[in-house]
């Protein structure tokens, strides 16, 4: 009898929304946002990577690397002071 009374009291309180048991959330939990990948430059061209078969491709990659470095601008905003 006690069990039935407790269940009835719980149902009476839960029906109008006095307290509720979240059986199923309205929205799924927010997924962690993944930071957008920046344009990752290809690895730098090294001398031991170049051979007769891929010389043209490596030359083009080296030119692209130099252009990318020049377009980035100076690494430091302050000029380096050199003592005479």
How would residue 38 be classed by pLDDT, with cut points 50, 70 and 90? low
Residue 52 lies in a domain: yes
Average pLDDT score over residue span 59-68: 89
Residue 58 lies in a domain: yes
> For the chain, what is the domain count?
1
Residue 24 lies in a domain: no
Percent of the chain having pLDDT more than 90?
12
Q: Can you give the residue range of the structural domain that contains 53?
A: 46-71
SS (H, E, C) the chain: CHHHHHHHHHHHHHCCCCCCCCCCCCCCCCCCCCCCCCCCCCCCCCHHHCCCCCHHHHHHHHHHHHHHHHHHCCCCCCCCCCCC
Entry pTM:
0.41
Residue 57 lies in a domain: yes
Residue 12 lies in a domain: no
């Amino acid at each position: 009898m006690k069990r039935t009374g407790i269940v009835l009291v719980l149902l009476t309180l839960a029906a109008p929304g006095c307290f509720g048991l979240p059986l199923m959330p309205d929205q799924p939990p927010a997924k962690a946002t993944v930071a957008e990948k920046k344009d990752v430059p290809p690895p730098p061209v090294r001398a031991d990577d170049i051979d007769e078969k891929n010389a043209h491709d490596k030359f083009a990659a080296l030119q692209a690397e130099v252009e990318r470095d020049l377009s980035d601008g100076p690494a430091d905003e302050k000029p380096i002071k050199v003592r005479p």
